[in-house]
Every structure is written in C-alpha cells, then in structure tokens.
Structure 1
Amino acid sequence: MWAGSAFRTAGPALVALAVTAAGCAPGAATAAAPPSVHWGPCADNASVECGSVAVPVDWAAPDGPAIDLAVARRAAADPARRLGTLVYAPAGPGSSGVDALTNQQVFDLLFTPEQAERFDIVSFDPRGVRRSHPVRCSAALVDALDMPVRGEREFRRFLDAQAALGGSCRELTGPVIDHLDSTDQARDLDALRAALGEERVNIYALSYGTVLGQMYAESFPERIRTMVLDATVDHSVGTERIHVTGARAAQESFEVVLGWCATSEACVLHGRDVRAIVADLYAKADAGELTHPTDPARTLDRGELAHEILDPLGNADVVETTNRIAALAGSPAPRSADQSAQGSSAATVPLPIYLYCADHRNSTRSYADLYRLRRLESAVAPDVRTSTHGVPLLCVNPPFETTNPPHELDVEDAPPILVTNSRYDASTPHENARRVAEQIGDAVLVTYDGLGHGAAVRGRCMRGLVTAYLVDGTMPPRGTHCPAEPLP
C-alpha cells in the first residue's frame, strides 16, 4: 500500500509551486495554487528557501494524480547583476538537489562565488528521490540480494530475489514507480522553469543528472540559455559497452594511484608491490575468503572489493584508496570513519537505482552472459578486474518497463553546450563525454587532465572556464584541457 495523501488529482495548474511553510518536505498543496512562487525557509538551513512544485505522476495524463517535487533556492547574492536562474540537476541516481543547496560545504564545492552572485541557484529532489515521493522497498528483500552468483542456479535465485524485491517496491511506492525515467524528469524540470517564470534557464548537470540534461536538450532546446554536462553519462550505449568502458576507466584511474604511490611517501604502501597486493585480495575475494577490515563477519566479493578500492577516487582521494588496500591486506592503516560500510535496520529503505533502470535495462539474461561480461571487464582491467557498474544488475529484472531506452541524441536548435569530464574518472569515463559531445554536435568538450568524478569543480582553470561560459556564454576552444591539480 501507499499513502493516499501522496497522490491526488492535479488539475490544470501543474506548474504552480505549492507553499511548503514547514520546510522542504512535500506538502498537501492543491492544484489551485497561484502561478507565482512562494518560498519558505528550509528546515535544514533557514538561509535557503524551500518549496514544492506539483507535477503529474504520468505526464501523458496531466490531469491525473500528482506528486510534489521538493525544490530549494538560493537567491542571487548580487540582485542588481542577476542574470537569471541556474538549475542544478543532481547526480545519482538518487542524490538530493535540495540537500546540495542546504549543505554549505557541498554548495561551495559545486558553485563559485561569481555564480552565486549572478544567479538564483535552484535545485530539486527528482521524482523517486528523498522528499519527492521516494522509491521505497523492503529492507529485508534488499538484503536478500546479497548473495554470491557463481553459476546458473545462483543467477536464477538472484532473478527471483529481484522479482520479490520489485514487488515490494511497487507496493510501497505506488504508481510513480512506472514513471521514473529521465524524460519524465525533463518534463518536471520544465514545469519548474515555468513556475519560476523563466523563459530560459541555465543548467548545471552532474553525473547521472547529465542524462536528464540531455533529455531536456532534446525536448526543450529553446528553453536553454546555457548548459554544462559534467561527468557525463552516455545514454546511447548498451550493457556490454557500459561495462567494458567503465572497467577500462577504472583501470586507468587505478594506474594513477600506482604511479602516485611509487613516488610519494604519503602512500602507506610506498615501496611495496601494490599490484601484487591487490591481485592477492582479488584471489581471496573470488575464493570467498576476503573479509571487511571493520566488519570481519562480512565477506567481500570482487565487485565489493572493487568498490572499496575505487570509491575514494571519485574525490581524487588516493590516500584513502591505498589506506583501504592496506587495511584489507591486514596492514595497519587509518580509515575514514564515514567511509566504513553501514547497514540499516529499517523495515523499508529507499532504492533510487530504479531511476537508472527506467533509462536502461541490463541485457544480461543468464549466468553465461554474466560470466562473459566479467571476462570482458577483466581483459581491459587486469588489476581492478571490473567496472563500477555492478549495482545496475538490479536492472536485469526491474518491476517495470524501461521507458527511456538508450538512443543516439537528437538535439536541434539548442545553444552551444559545454561538456566537461576528468580524464581519469572510474564512474563516468572520459570516452562517454567525447561521444556525447559528438552526438550533440554544437558542443565543446573540455578535459580536466586529472583524477576525480566531476571536472567542473576541479581547480582554478576548470572553475574559471565554466563560470565564464555560464555568465556570458564564452565557450572555450575545442580541445581545451586544464591541468591536473597536484596529488598529496
């Protein structure tokens, strides 16, 4: 079952923002709300304004049931020089744009002082995420997916477990689970634009938010003033290419770690054969003998081991990666407390990965397919063995149709779009950004020659180029590169 108060008849005024005086949580606003925007202080940060916008569950039935999208805004710090609205399309799938604006540290990372002066900066929790009617599932059935898959019988058990999980997600989430794809998100974004009274908007899309950005450029090109696609996802490719490209990028990122560790005494494994240590860890993981250093009862498979090694590299944290390798190998090493594995005892849990499944269905249909995929990954990633894309195996058997399947972009009449990417990004490979820029045509790719997930925020060169583009439309020359920031 799902709470009846979360759904209602939207009526004709879907793009009107409803007042949420108590903070950012969705309220019980009606469709009769006026077309002007009313803001109240956010519950998490009273200096930021929060509200909600009503959008239909199904954009094909605009007068049917609706949900509220939680939105947040930081008004331009220099109103006299305000250029308009800059909308942040959050990463994920599953990241909260509201949290990004209310958390000062995150906000300062994402946006430069000049951007904050010249633009109202607005973001939202996408449908299915956090305050915007989140996808919810049985925690016990999520835990049941934690099983080894080493043969066809186990693969079939995994599919059955996915089916059971999907049934619980549908029951707990309701009809919105059939309307989570990035074309729905793009329509939501345009409803927000209209509610703000803007003819055109500026968009900064990060990571999985770049799929939303691409769909918006396809559907509403004339409503874009500027658009930055940062840490870009290529929505034109299938399962095999996603995994192979991802594995190659993971290997390249790991080789940056190897080079740094060989020359820096800041590496806890300096002077040791890191490749051999990691190979031994993978052998133990494949044999079911590798345990987590902070939870000895927890056994890690190769995908979980890869996550342990690669996850800190999104922040270019080579120190944490080598600390983790040392800890896994039994050597004493510090470990960031907030990066340790944490479980949940809740009866239900959010599962926003289904937003990905609405855009992409994994083509793996048997253990033979899975084994072949693993072999292809290992061939291009001899050290890390796999990509960071293990979780989308949930998309082998989701509880709905994939309504926005991969396709080549068809963008016409949009202004020039800026695409940015790190050269070494295990989550969104540089190759993705190159292909997306080629598909858009009138786009320029700028490469940050360093490590990390998200390029637009890295160093003075990148931040300066992005700000100049957003503020006055100055597009850097094709083939522009920014130098890597030094590692510790």
Structure 2
Amino acid sequence: MSPARAETALGVPPLGRYSNAATIDWQPCPEDAAAQCGTMRVPADWTQPYGPSIELTLARRKAGDPKQRIGVLMVNPGGPGASAVNQALDTEYFGSEVERRFDIVGIDPRGVGRSAPILCAQDVVDAKPSPLVADEQEFGRLTDYNRKLAEDCASRSGPVFRQAGTGNVVRDMEAVRIALGEQRISFYGASYGSLIGQMYAERYPARLRALVLDSVMDHSADVNAFVGRTAESAQDSFDQFVAWCARDSQCALRGRDIKAIWGELVERARAGTLQDPYDPPSKLRVWELISAAFSAFYDPQWYSFAFYLKAAYEPTPAARRALPDLDLTPHSFPAVMCRDWSLPVGGWAGYRAMLGRLAVAAPQMLASPLALTAVSGCAGWPDPVADPQRPIPPATVPVLVVNARHDPATAYAWAKSVTGQLGPKARLLTYDGWGHVAYGHSDCVSAAADRYLTTLALPAAGATCPPVAPVPYGVG
C-alpha cells in the first residue's frame, strides 16, 4: 500500500507521529468569551515531521444543545486568504439548527490570518504590475516582479511560505480532527474553501460525514479552462448589471448606454486620464477599473457600482483621502495558488494570445481579474507546484454542491463539472441569482444546506432556488 493510500485508510496525517498531535491549547476568545480560541503546533513540512513547526490558530463555538449534538462542523470561507476563525466566531452566519447541533470549528489555514501568516512588504505588494501587459518587455517585468515578491515574502514569513498549499492545509485539518477526538467531521467550504473540502474528501474519505461546497473551484481545469470559464462568468455578471440597470428605477445610470460609458472609461484609463472618483486626483488604470467592477459583482453591489461609474464618468472635485502607512501586509494568495495550480502560459507569445482570446470572450471585462491575477502571478514563480490539477474522485458520502447561476468568480460550469466528478452521491443545487457565495444570501439555499447538514437529506435532482433581488444599502 502506498503512503498516500495508507494515510487515507488509517485517517492519520502522513508520517503520523509528531510531538504535539493531541495538544490544542484552548482559551476564551478575546472577541467572544463564550467561544474558545486554540493554538496547535504542526510540522511546517509534513514530510519532515520532526523539523520546524508552525502554530495554527482555531476557534470553536460549541453546540448550543449538547444533548442533540451531531459533531464538529469545520468551516472555511475561501480566499485563499480569508479567516476561518472569523467565520467560526460569526454567530449570524449559520442557521439556528446548525448552531444548536454542531460544534463550529474554524482553522485559519497555514499562512493566513492568525496561523503563521505570510507577510510581505507593503511597498513590494503595491508595486505589482498590471496583468494586462502590452508587450514582451512588460511581460518580463511581470515575471521579474513575481520572483522579487516571492523572495521578499519568503524572507519575512519563515518556513510556512514554501508549504502553504492546500495539500498541507488538509493535513492540518486531519491533525485537528485527531486532536479533537472526533471520528468524523462535517465540512462547509465556500469559494476557495470548496477546494479544501474536495481535497480533504479525496485524502480522508472515511473521516468525512457531510460536505457542503458553496461556489465551487474546479481543480480539474487546465489553464485555458481556468481563465476562459472565469472570463465568461465575469462578462455575464457585467451583462446582468446592465440588464438590471435598464429595469430598476433607482439605478443611477438608468436610461443611459452603460456599455458606451464603460467603453469611454476604459479608453480614459488606457490614456492615463481617468480619475479615481473615490481617491482623486489619483488615476485608475484599466486593471483597477475592471477590478472595481468585479468586486461590485460579488454581493452584488449594483446600486453603489452605478454611482461609482457615474462619478468616474462625470467627475466632481473632491478631497484626496489619506492612505494608511503600512510596512508589512498579509499576502498569502500567490504562495497558495502557485502551489495548487499549474498555470503555464508559454512565455510572452502564449500570454499575449491568451489575453486576445479572453478579450473576445469578455469584451467589457477583458478577463476575470481573480483568475488573471492567479495566472499572471504564477508566471516566473520560483517554487514548484505541489498539488496540480486533477479530477476529484467520486464521493463516498452525500455531497451538496451549491452555486449561483450568475456567479462572477466561480463559474457555474465549474459547479456542474465538480458535481459530475463527484458522481451519483453528489447533488447540485442551483441558485438562480447573482453574486458569489449563496449560503446566507438566499434563504432557500441556507435552508437546504442546513437540512442536509443535520439530516444528510439532499435536495431533489435539478433543484433550484429563486433569485434574490439586490436592494439599495440601508433598505431592507
């Protein structure tokens, strides 16, 4: 039996003996004394269990009704770079029945939040060139920058920097499960957290009771599918915004040709004359403009984005905001992405051709800023890929997959693909609305997920949830 298969069969971390396997130091959380915050040491490199170690930080809110307790629900909100500790401490995220029947446990993934965070110089992070490079010289500067960034972050972050991939995160999860004394866990993963859930299910299937994947990463996608599907999703979200503005009387641009306005804003950005309406007199580049749109599509924040475009198109004098003076900043994204994904572009010629294809697929958005950040950020990255893409094996427990049909970040096509890979035990619940991460946004989705977590009952095949229309901030 191979080491990986032995690990799966036994449900233990690779080279399972290490000095602090059963030790979690629990204390009341500073943010909420009713919750527990803990620390636990694990190997920085799981292939070297007696080498340098790192400290994980986790939070636990115990089940409200111990007599009806089902077990542990581990959670992760994605990123990569978001804090699972913060999610576990959020008493309003999960439904009352989930809160009543589960210990909710969030582990900040290694390199993130409170778990040996990867730190980089703020000025180096801020110097990142636009991924929308125009020529071979700019592409060379981009790859040189990536190597400089990696060197800077590695020098400030210790051994975690080169061991931040999701394969190690799931080993950490399994070590926590053992330390908690749980035979099996349930898991809710949103966005990039869905990849953590998939990889845990692959490596430790016997240790999983239930799995909710909300807004799904497809780790079988090659580089072309990775950037292509996400570009289509970003463009779809732009088109949905335009359609909404045409029908909602409170849209600040209603009755105007938004695509024409957008086109002029893009040309001003290319010429270096587009003023940032929220930070004048600084200028917006094309990259910042499409990134602002992409961020607005997450909730979605259509009302505020319409005002943003109007202010950019018809600027008025405003005082410049003071920017914070920071020396170091958390920045785990490339250290994780470039270990989890093989994203070769074939040098400048391949990258240029890729940008051309994406501009055709997404004429307004040009690309998915999130996906292009990943691909451009891994060009020239000095560390090898640890867990390259591969299809996920069929699930051994019922799995609930959830995705919005108009998700700007994780393509709906990815959710269908992952559901197919997981096989007959998986069920896709489609949220027929907009935005990224459906749980908590749609009561229908939340109820279905809560019911599944507590009873393991999946929705009917082909089930959908109706869209929830955005409302202006301060309303509803």
Distance 1:171 1:11, change over 3 A: farther
The separation in 1 between residues aligned to 2:342 and 2:18, in whole angstroms, is: 34
Cα deviation 1:154-193 (Å, max 9, x = unaligned): 2112211221121111111122222111111111111111
Equivalent position of 1:15 in the other structure: 21
The reply on whether 1:380 has 2:367 as its aligned counterpart is: no
Equivalent AA in structure 2 for residue 129 of structure 1: V
Alignment of 1:63-212 (within 5 A): 63-102=50-89, 104=90, 107-108=91-92, 110-146=93-129, 149-212=133-196
The reply on whether 1:247 has 2:234 as its aligned counterpart is: no
Cα deviation 1:103-144 (Å, max 9, x = unaligned): x4xx41x31111111111010110001211111122222222
Equivalent position of 1:347 in the other structure: 327
The reply on whether 1:262 has 2:246 as its aligned counterpart is: yes
Cα RMSD after superposing both structures: 2.1
Equivalent position of 2:200 in the other structure: 216
The separation in 2 between residues aligned to 1:316 and 1:263, in whole angstroms, is: 16
For residue 56 of structure 2, give the secondary structure of its aligned residue in structure 1: strand
For residue 209 of structure 1, give the secondary structure of its aligned residue in structure 2: helix
Equivalent AA in structure 2 for residue 45 of structure 1: D
Distance 1:271 1:141, change over 3 A: same
Match of 2:413 among 400, 414, 431: 431
Identical positions, percent: 34
The reply on whether 1:448 has 2:431 as its aligned counterpart is: yes
Distance 1:45 1:399, change over 3 A: farther
Deviation at 1:370, TM superposition (A): 2.6
**Aligned residues of 2:231 and 2:366 also touching (Cα < 8 A):** yes
The separation in 2 between residues aligned to 1:397 and 1:351, in whole angstroms, is: 18
For residue 33 of structure 2, give the secondary structure of its aligned residue in structure 1: coil
Deviation at 1:12, TM superposition (A): 2.8
Match of 1:417 among 399, 419, 437: 399
Cα deviation 1:429-482 (Å, max 9, x = unaligned): 111111111111121111000001011222221111111100010011221111
Equivalent AA in structure 1 for residue 384 of structure 2: E
Deviation larger for 299-308 or 85-94? 299-308
The reply on whether 1:234 has 2:218 as its aligned counterpart is: yes
The separation in 1 between residues aligned to 2:34 and 2:469, in whole angstroms, is: 35
Structure 2 length as normaliser, TM-score?
0.90
Equivalent position of 1:296 in the other structure: 280
The separation in 2 between residues aligned to 1:50 and 1:411, in whole angstroms, is: 35
Equivalent AA in structure 1 for residue 32 of structure 2: N
Equivalent AA in structure 1 for residue 439 of structure 2: A
- Paired positions, count: 450
**Aligned residues of 1:48 and 1:73 also touching (Cα < 8 A):** yes
Equivalent position of 1:51 in the other structure: 38
**Aligned residues of 1:281 and 1:290 also touching (Cα < 8 A):** yes
Equivalent AA in structure 1 for residue 159 of structure 2: P
Cα deviation 1:387-411 (Å, max 9, x = unaligned): 1323212111223111111111124
For residue 266 of structure 1, give the secondary structure of its aligned residue in structure 2: coil
Cα deviation 1:351-378 (Å, max 9, x = unaligned): 1112111101431343332322222112
**Aligned residues of 1:290 and 1:299 also touching (Cα < 8 A):** yes
Equivalent position of 2:48 in the other structure: 61
The reply on whether 1:461 has 2:444 as its aligned counterpart is: yes
Equivalent AA in structure 2 for residue 455 of structure 1: A
For residue 282 of structure 1, give the secondary structure of its aligned residue in structure 2: helix
For residue 296 of structure 1, give the secondary structure of its aligned residue in structure 2: coil
Deviation larger for 232-241 or 358-367? 358-367
The separation in 2 between residues aligned to 1:258 and 1:143, in whole angstroms, is: 31
The separation in 2 between residues aligned to 1:314 and 1:58, in whole angstroms, is: 35
Equivalent AA in structure 2 for residue 217 of structure 1: A
The separation in 1 between residues aligned to 2:356 and 2:296, in whole angstroms, is: 25
Deviation larger for 297-306 or 59-68? 297-306
The separation in 2 between residues aligned to 1:124 and 1:341, in whole angstroms, is: 35
The separation in 1 between residues aligned to 2:31 and 2:227, in whole angstroms, is: 38
Deviation at 1:215, TM superposition (A): 0.6
The separation in 1 between residues aligned to 2:287 and 2:99, in whole angstroms, is: 39
Deviation larger for 248-257 or 296-305? 296-305
Deviation at 1:342, TM superposition (A): 8.7
The separation in 2 between residues aligned to 1:127 and 1:343, in whole angstroms, is: 29
Deviation larger for 416-425 or 364-373? 364-373
The reply on whether 1:273 has 2:260 as its aligned counterpart is: no
**Aligned residues of 1:324 and 1:333 also touching (Cα < 8 A):** no
The separation in 2 between residues aligned to 1:453 and 1:143, in whole angstroms, is: 26
Deviation larger for 278-287 or 469-478? 278-287
The separation in 2 between residues aligned to 1:49 and 1:352, in whole angstroms, is: 25
The separation in 2 between residues aligned to 1:112 and 1:341, in whole angstroms, is: 39
**Aligned residues of 1:364 and 1:396 also touching (Cα < 8 A):** yes
Distance 1:318 1:206, change over 3 A: same
Distance 1:118 1:214, change over 3 A: same
**Aligned residues of 1:125 and 1:131 also touching (Cα < 8 A):** yes
The separation in 2 between residues aligned to 1:269 and 1:126, in whole angstroms, is: 42
**Aligned residues of 1:365 and 1:396 also touching (Cα < 8 A):** no
**Aligned residues of 1:326 and 1:332 also touching (Cα < 8 A):** no
For residue 292 of structure 1, give the secondary structure of its aligned residue in structure 2: coil
Structure 1 length as normaliser, TM-score?
0.88
Unaligned residue ranges in structure 1 (runs of 5+): 1-9, 20-38, 335-339
